[in-house]
Chains A and B, each alone.
Chain A
Amino acid sequence: MFEPAIILTLLIDGLTNGAIYAMMALGIVVLYSVTSVINVAQGEFVMLSALSIASLRAAKIPGVLYIAVVGLIFWSIFNALAMMRQGAAPRQLKIWPILWPLFLAGLLISVVPPLAKAHLPYPLQIFIAVVLTTLLGPICYRLVLEPLPKASILVFLILAIGLHLALTGLGLAFWGPQPYDLPPFSKGGMILGPAYVSYQALWLLAISALLMLALYLFFNHTIYGKALRAAAVNRLGARLMGISAVRAGRLSFSISVFLSAVAGVLITPITKMVYDFGFLIGLKGFVGAIIGGLTNPVIAALGAIFVGVAEQFSAFYISSAYKDVIVFLLIIPVLLLRSLQHQDFEEHVD
């Protein structure tokens, strides 16, 4: 039962999943800190990037392209409406905010389909899918969240639920209910002591670690990163320093979507991907994020890795049917601890 080979294998599987959950948790924490949006749709982008690669490999146009193009058209419309609401007569409308989303949409629709049919090498397909999916970040932010800049956390949460429903449904409409597989970056694996590790798992661990490192450097050593952190602490203050809440929001949403898109690329060769599978991955990232109180990225990432490991061990030693139940029960002690810790009455106020 407790042979080292089993424990090591469970640990490696746990770390692999945990690294993915950590990327989710980081995306959630970054977005929540900067915009107070609790993005329950975080996992949907995992699914969208993975299934887009599957489309590209089958020389089909990925559904994400259509979502992006329609989104950009609406972006243009929203810009025009916003200008009109500010009292501009139809003639005085500035033309650029209306035209550029349309240009970009036109560019995408003319460039992507030929590329999709061209049987490009795998890394290029991955690149295209990740870029297209990440593009949805600012689009979703502009269309769903930006129209209500002063909404409460509760309203943001319900908006995110709406986004989750729409994206899951679109995933089903474009790709159907069947699972999709992707080839690993490199085939095979290696013997690690008593256990076997696939090269894909190593790729996954290495790339996610690199990404988290990059994120750390970004937030601590670049002007943009520091600006985002400033916006997270005090939106008005950041604004006075010339960092607009809108740009901070779009940027942080893009970062969190990018993390999801990469996660989709990394995990699908190991677990396959279905249209509603991303949501579950996102929810497990949430458990990690809650462990970090939704605001502490380091504890959230570590918490998410713990979730991955706990999931594997409980699946093996307790019950594979109840592994999700056990994972979601993890938040009880966390919330209990937080509840006992807090002192000021002000916690009641959003």
Chain B
Amino acid sequence: MRNYLSFEGLSWLVFVLFVIIVPLFLSSFYLRLMSLIGLYSLVVMGLVLLTGYAGLASLGQAAFMGVGAYTAAILSSRFALNPWLSMIAGILLAVLIAWLIGLITLRLKGHFLALATLAWGLVITGILRNWISVTGGNTGFGSATGNRFPPLSILGYPLRDERLYTYLIWFFVLLVLFLSLNLMRSRMGLAIKALRTGSIAAASFGVNVSQLKMLTFLLAAAFAALAGALFAFKELFIDPKIADLSTSINLLIMAVMGGIGSLTGAIFGPGLFVFLESFLQEYLPWLIGRSGNYEIIAFGFILIFILHRARQGLLPLLRDLLPASPVKPINHQAEPLPKRILDRAEGEVLLRVDDVSKNFGGLRAVDSLSFEVKRGEILGLIGPNGAGKSTMFNLITGVLRLSEGEISFKDSLISKLAPHQIAQRGIARTFQHLNLIGNMSLLDNVVLGGYGRTKANVWQGMLGLEGGERERARAEAHRQLKRVGLAEQSFERADSLALGKQRLVEIARALMADPELILLDEPAAGLRKHEKAELIDLIRKLKAEGITVLLVEHDMELVMTLCERIVVVNYGTKLAEGSPKAIKQNPKVLEAYLGSESASL
């Protein structure tokens, strides 16, 4: 514990000292560069959250800077509003606009946000350039064009000095970095990281995916607007170029250069970019023999090269030289997380699938299927490939909307609910196609499963005020890993495990949600013989603890030994239902399975 704190604390100390000392020795030219790097860093940190973690791209971050800058400038000039308040107003307006953009695009596939923000950027620059009576148009806004606005001041002391202003900017950089780092370590942050790997998985443990994407987008817009407003009060003059598409693209280049998934890279990237840009702007025109912004050629190729060869950006190359930060140990004494109370009688109907159909265009993947899962049982759902089993799982968990019929859980209708709401009611699942976050530890992957059982919100996350909840979640996750026999590997990366073991991690993650019903999608695929035996033991233990299991599996031996009842589906309809013994002798089932699998029956 102490060791962990001191390493982290030391890095911060070095960084803060660096930021305090360096400006003392810088000339005016380099102070300008340092301020610029700080301002860009603020925006790029938002972009890293958005693109690197949530897997969404924005081509309109400069436009949010523009909104922040112009709102702050116009309010403090025309309306003589206090500069700090004008700044806050600018951030709020940017957030409001981001919310509107998010509302119409975040339900669509990820790249529509990129295209919508691209269009939004073009719209805002169009307005800034042409609404001359308000924005000053192309000539800009500031005292030079008769729109004087005051500088920021602290306790009545105006911040005109370049060095002081550099400190102010970097104060905000450190603050935002601190908040963002905290956030990404928190409950919400883990969930944001899960968005990129798979929204369906995130939703399956209770994450409201649209809301979380929106939150990340709003944060990124707020950071950008803050940077814009700081820029306005630094120069006391702004022009529409700040909101330009080319600025947005530059910000993206910086994020990619620093390593799109790294918050510290969000400071390194702008640093590299600013120096490279000023170098190229000096020498390229000389080389070509004509003035012009030829540096975009170089940046175009750099962007392509980094994505081809160094996707993690350039910083990890340096980071590999430093020792890895030690992991925080698990506090096994932490109070357990609250558990669901299983108060109903065994044998009652827990899940009812009632005459459900699903059409994909002309294909009827599930056709008037009905079955029930009773509390406390292990029900097998089997059928040949393409029979509609996984579709059924997706219908139960709300990933797909059913075309006809109803599904109810504990006597209440769930077929109209969103996936995260269904998860919250007590249904957890694993995936046929594995859905773990490869570069995260097993423990963190499992902690994610407990998202629905924990409460810390984004503010608590940012300020590091999750209290003991995180410790409790980690202890709980460790217990779940122990349950599936992977406690020793808790701190290994998920992608370092064999596929069969990763399936067990998924089970642990599902158990972490403290479910009443667990849906297992081919859990035995890729397991060796003794691992299968352990899996059978595990599932029986779950049953003994009162958890109900719905199992899709191709391994007939496993299904036959484990399940009390089996539902056989073929072409989306129910072929048979009954005890393993009855199913084995059912002629219709044997016919459907003629071929390789008939032998194993």
Contact = CB atoms under 8 A, between A and B. Distances in A.
Q: Do A and B bind each other?
A: yes
A170 to B, nearest CB: 6
A211 interface: no
Contacts of A348: 107, 109-110, 199-200, 209-210
Nearest to A41: B300
A84 interface: no
Contact of A158 (B57, B119, B126): B57
Interface stretch (B301-309, B465-473, B570-578): B301-309
B252 A173 contact: no
B330 interface: no
A183 interface: no
A264 B157 CA distance: 58
Contacts of B127: 322, 325
Interface stretch (B182-190, B290-298, B312-320, B380-388): B290-298
Interface stretch (B18-26, B393-401, B541-549, B584-592): B393-401
Given A342-B107, A345-B203, A346-B400, A283 B118 contact: yes
Contact of A350 (B109, B256, B299, B400): B109
B115 A331 contact: yes
Contacts of B252: 158, 161
Interface string B524-548: 0000000000000000000000000
B307 A331 contact: no
Interface string A300-318: 0000000000000000000
Interface in A161-192: 161-170, 172-173, 176-177
Contacts of B119: 287, 328-329, 331
A110 interface: no
A345 B307 contact: no
Interface string A314-341: 0000010110110011011001101100
Nearest to B116: A335
Given A158-B252, A335-B108, A166 B200 contact: no
A237 interface: no
Given A166-B304, A172-B293, A350-B109, A345 B116 contact: no
Nearest to A147: B308
A167 B294 CA distance: 11
Interface in B199-256: 199-200, 203, 209-210, 249, 252, 256
B122 interface: yes
B123 interface: yes
Contacts of A177: 292
A173 B51 CA distance: 32
B130 interface: yes
Contact of B122 (A162, A169, A325, A343): A325
For A165, A168, A322, the residue with the greatest tally of chain B CB atoms inside 10 Å of its CB is: A165
Interface in B348-394: 394
Interface stretch (A91-99, A120-128, A149-157, A198-206): A149-157
Given A168-B296, A346-B399, A162 B418 contact: no
B167 interface: no
Contacts of B401: 343-345
Given A153-B111, A343-B401, A345-B419, A169 B297 contact: yes
Contact of B300 (A153, A163, A325): A163
A172 B294 CA distance: 7
Contacts of B108: 335, 338-339, 342, 347
- The size class of the interface chain A forms with chain B is 35 or more
Given A165-B299, A172-B293, A325-B126, A345 B400 contact: yes
B111 A38 contact: yes
B294 A154 contact: no
Contacts of A335: 104-105, 108, 112, 116
B200 A162 contact: no
A343 B123 CA distance: 29
Given A154-B55, A325-B127, A339-B105, A159 B303 contact: yes
A290 B110 CA distance: 13
A172 B111 contact: no
B124 to A, nearest CB: 9
Contact of B110 (A153, A158, A322): A153
Interface string B272-305: 0000000000000000101011111111111110
A342 B104 CA distance: 11
A335 B510 CA distance: 35
B198 interface: yes
A283 B295 CA distance: 22
A344 B109 contact: no
Nearest to B401: A343
Given A157-B114, A166-B297, A328 B122 contact: yes
Given A154-B57, A325-B127, A335-B108, A169 B115 contact: no
Contacts of B103: 339
A291 to B, nearest CB: 11
Given A144-B304, A162-B304, A345-B399, A157 B112 contact: no
B111 A345 contact: no
A286 interface: yes
A349 interface: yes
Nearest to B248: A161
B290 A176 contact: yes
A214 interface: no
A158 B306 CA distance: 11
Nearest to B298: A169
Given A335-B112, A345-B200, A324 B296 contact: no
B303 A332 contact: no
A229 B497 CA distance: 38
Contact of A38 (B105, B115, B120, B302): B115
Interface string B39-57: 0000000000001000111
Given A325-B123, A350-B109, A350-B111, A176 B104 contact: no
Contact of B104 (A40, A154, A161, A332): A332
A81 to B, nearest CB: 11
Interface string A273-313: 00000000001001100100000000000000000000000
A345 B232 CA distance: 41
Contacts of A40: 118
A157 to B, nearest CB: 6
Interface in B107-156: 107-112, 114-116, 118-120, 122-123, 126-127, 129-130
A253 B302 CA distance: 22
A210 interface: no
B300 A173 contact: no
B232 to A, nearest CB: 22
Contacts of A165: 249, 296-297, 299-300, 303
A148 interface: yes
Interface of B: 51, 55-57, 59, 103-105, 107-112, 114-116, 118-120, 122-123, 126-127, 129-130, 198-200, 203, 209-210, 249, 252, 256, 288, 290, 292-304, 307-308, 311, 394, 398-401, 418-419
27 contacts: A153-B110, A159-B303, A161-B300, A162-B300, A162-B304, A163-B300, A165-B249, A165-B300, A166-B296, A168-B296, A169-B295, A169-B298, A172-B294, A322-B126, A322-B127, A324-B126, A328-B122, A329-B123, A331-B116, A338-B108, A342-B108, A345-B203, A345-B399, A346-B394, A347-B108, A347-B109, A350-B110
> Which are the 8 A-B pairs with shortest beta-carbon distances?
A166-B300, A165-B300, A169-B297, A162-B303, A325-B126, A348-B199, A162-B304, A169-B296
Given A164-B300, A168-B296, 11 more contacts: A38-B111, A154-B110, A158-B256, A158-B307, A162-B300, A165-B303, A170-B297, A173-B297, A342-B107, A348-B210, A350-B110
